Amino acid sequence: MQYEQRNPVPLPATGSYESVKATLETVFDWQYELRRQNLLSLYEKGKTLAWNANDLDWSTDVNIERMLRDRVANGLGPMMNAMLNPPQTLDDKRVMEFQLNMNAFMLSQFLHGEQGALVATAKIVQGVPWTEAKFYAANQVADEARHVEVYHRYLTEKLGLSYEISPSLNRLLDDIIEDPRWDVTFLGMQIMVEGLALAAFGVVRMQMADEPLIQDLITRVMGDESRHVAFGVLSLADLYRTEMTSTELREREDFVIEATHMLRDRLVPSPVFERLGWDVDVWTEWSNNTPFMRGFRQMMFTKIVPNLKRLGLLTPRVRAAYEKLDLLQFEHHKDSVEEPEAPPPQELVQILELFLKGTGSNGAAANGA
């Protein structure tokens, strides 16, 4: 596989390579019992539904600037100013640069999250005790390599604009990799990071409705991710409901609460403001508090909350933390076993449609996070 890399992905402060000490017990399963049918059928699905990065039509002409210019010509600017109430009015030039960079920022964090998933899932292959789960995780490792490949190709060959990993996502990935408990790797990666990714992918796909390559790319990746999240839910459900001591459960609650804060911070686009030379404090404060952006961030948790509930982790302590973040509104949404796909929540679809009304962009929307 060869493609033109128009831009190198910027490096974080830690440099080109970052080493984290991962300690875990590697478990052999000498029984090979293969009795967890739900995991085995997920494994069969994973093998059958695998695709190749070359299946995408990479000859597609991707011109986000032209797409945005059309939207701006159709009144995107006034719409954004009215809905987002920014600290200073966004003229057309600023609307363009904000949108272009937000799109690159979101897609770049997807790329970095995918690398995290690749590494974390490899760790799961070693640490999870059951053969069925090792099989499935091995299959997922191949999926994640492909996801890294397609996002990287899209960002460098097609967009020509990208961002380094956000510090909060970096911290969370480090925590997940460093943790010696295999179930915490699952919890962090399959339930939290991938749960959020499923919701975020859906939103970006909707925003970029008039760009066929990213549509195809995200649809394929989401198909895989919905299996990955289901893998996490199926693997952990019995464990948390029956086999944990209260101290162990408390540690998992702490992890969930901390991971939630880091994931929420990962959605704050301070690096975009910094690169654009906008006042980072003022714009970050705005992003933290403006109702549209807050609502957008909350909706990224639509899959995580019901999945935690299914795992028995929506305990009084987690509930109290989620209450403060206004996330309990999603507890009655369908979890990943009931509904593996993650359609963007109806409230968000409505907001985005309203946002785009009059911009002529056919269901696609402005970026916000």
Nearest approach in angstroms of CB 232 to Fe ion is: 9
DSSP state of 164: P
The region of 109-117, 211-219, 271-279, 335-343 touching Fe ion under the rule CB under 5 A is 109-117
The reply to whether 193 sits near Fe ion by the rule CB under 5 A is no
Nearest approach in angstroms of CB 236 to Fe ion is: 15
Question: Which tokens in the block code for residue 52?
Answer: 């190749």
The reply to whether 228 sits near Fe ion by the rule CB under 5 A is yes
Q: Cβ(194)–Cβ(117) under 8 Å?
A: yes
Alpha helices in 87-243 (DSSP H): 92-127, 131-153, 167-178, 182-186, 194-207, 212-242
Q: Helix, strand, coil shares of the chain as percentages rounded to 5?
A: 65, 0, 35
Nearest one of 369, 368, 232 to 313, comparing CA atoms: 232
The reply to whether 297 sits near Fe ion by the rule CB under 5 A is no
* Range 23-30 contact pairs with CB under 8 angstroms and sequence separation of 24 or more: 23/178, 23/180, 24/123, 24/126, 24/127, 24/180, 24/181, 24/182, 24/185, 25/127, 25/180, 25/182, 26/126, 26/127, 27/126, 27/127, 27/128, 27/129, 27/182, 29/129, 29/130, 29/131, 29/134
By beta-carbon proximity to Fe ion, the closer residue of 114 and 183 is 114
Nearest approach in angstroms of CB 114 to Fe ion is: 5
The reply to whether 112 sits near Fe ion by the rule CB under 5 A is no
Task: Name residue, tokens 């640490």.
Answer: 127
Nearest approach in angstroms of CB 224 to Fe ion is: 6
- # residues contacting Fe ion (CB under 5 A): 7
Exactly one of 146, 147, 153, 264 binds Fe ion (CB under 5 A); that residue is 147
Task: Name residue, tokens 């540690």.
Answer: 251
Phi and psi, residue 180, nearest 5°: -75, -10
Nearest approach in angstroms of CB 143 to Fe ion is: 6
Nearest approach in angstroms of CB 184 to Fe ion is: 17
The reply to whether 117 sits near Fe ion by the rule CB under 5 A is yes
Nearest approach in angstroms of CB 205 to Fe ion is: 14
By beta-carbon proximity to Fe ion, the closer residue of 207 and 226 is 226
Question: Which tokens in the block code for residue 74?
Answer: 């159709």
Burial of 127 (0-12, 13-18, 19+ CB in 10 A): buried
The region of 64-72, 186-194, 234-242, 333-341 touching Fe ion under the rule CB under 5 A is 186-194
The enclosing H or E element of 249 equals: helix 246-266
By beta-carbon proximity to Fe ion, the closer residue of 211 and 225 is 225
Nearest approach in angstroms of CB 120 to Fe ion is: 9
Tell which positions 208-227 bind Fe ion, by CB under 5 A: 225
By beta-carbon proximity to Fe ion, the closer residue of 102 and 198 is 198
By beta-carbon proximity to Fe ion, the closer residue of 144 and 211 is 144
CA distance 303 to 343: 10
By beta-carbon proximity to Fe ion, the closer residue of 134 and 147 is 147
The region of 12-20, 116-124, 160-168, 310-318 touching Fe ion under the rule CB under 5 A is 116-124
The region of 1-9, 85-93, 146-154, 310-318 touching Fe ion under the rule CB under 5 A is 146-154
Q: Which residues bind Fe ion (CB under 5 A)?
A: 114, 117, 144, 147, 194, 225, 228
